[in-house]
Chain A
Amino acid sequence: KNQVEQSPQSLIILEGKNCTLQCNYTVSPFSNLRWYKQDTGRGPVSLTIMTFSENTKSNGRYTATLDADTKQSSLHITASQLSDSASYICVVSARAGSYQLTFGKGTKLSVIP
């Protein structure tokens, strides 16, 4: 069964600090991996999309990495801001041409002053 596991479930960090969120997947065959940010009570917003051949993708202070061999991805947030407080969801697509995405349950990040 295709699965996406995220860790930690929740995380509290001080403003200005860096943090790294983890995503492990068992989706096969693999097409692409996406990271979304979801503010409380809002819809998810895309941060990055990576295909099999990409191992890093940046979007401002957000940097995602992908190791397709070990089926792991991470999202690194640099110099965190209060506005980074949100849930971060890892999403994997099984194959190009597929409508179906497999969603992780998310990591809830709280950035405190």
Chain B
Amino acid sequence: DVKVTQSSRYLVKRTGEKVFLECVQDMDHENMFWYRQDPGLGLRLIYFSYDVKMKEKGDIPEGYSVSREKKERFSLILESASTNQTSMYLCASRRGTGESYEQYFGPGTRLTVT
């Protein structure tokens, strides 16, 4: 079974803090993704990575950066957390981009910025 794990289920940070969210997958997938999920808005793509050290902006990259130094690990960084970044953050991974490739999600990190 594919496992996507996220470092924290719940996180509370203060405005202005630097925040790291970590995601690890154990199936040697090339592609990894970070989404945020807000009530009434659905999932929105922040960043994705298709290879080590490669990254692409998604729909809402402002205020975020990412790092992928190893294939299995994809980190989301909030350089200076703000209250409007309070959200559920979901990491996902996928082997390829073919039609049948499944995308697997982690359990999510609920981040509260106060």
A interface vs B, CB < 8 Å? Answer: 31-32, 34, 36, 41-46, 49, 51, 89, 93, 96-101, 103-106
Contact = CB atoms under 8 A, between A and B. Distances in A.
A28 to B, nearest CB: 16
Contacts of A51: 99-100
Interface in B44-59: 44-45, 48, 50, 56, 58
B28 interface: no
Contact of A45 (B44, B98, B100, B105): B105
B90 interface: yes
Interface stretch (B12-20, B65-73, B79-87, B106-114): B106-114
A99 B29 CA distance: 13
Interface residues of B, number: 27
B63 to A, nearest CB: 20
A108 to B, nearest CB: 10
A7 B106 CA distance: 26
Interface of B: 4, 31, 33, 40-45, 48, 50, 56, 58, 90, 92, 97-100, 102-108, 110
A42 B107 contact: yes
Contacts of B31: 99
Contacts of A98: 97
A48 to B, nearest CB: 11
A31 B33 CA distance: 19
B31 to A, nearest CB: 6
A44 B108 CA distance: 9
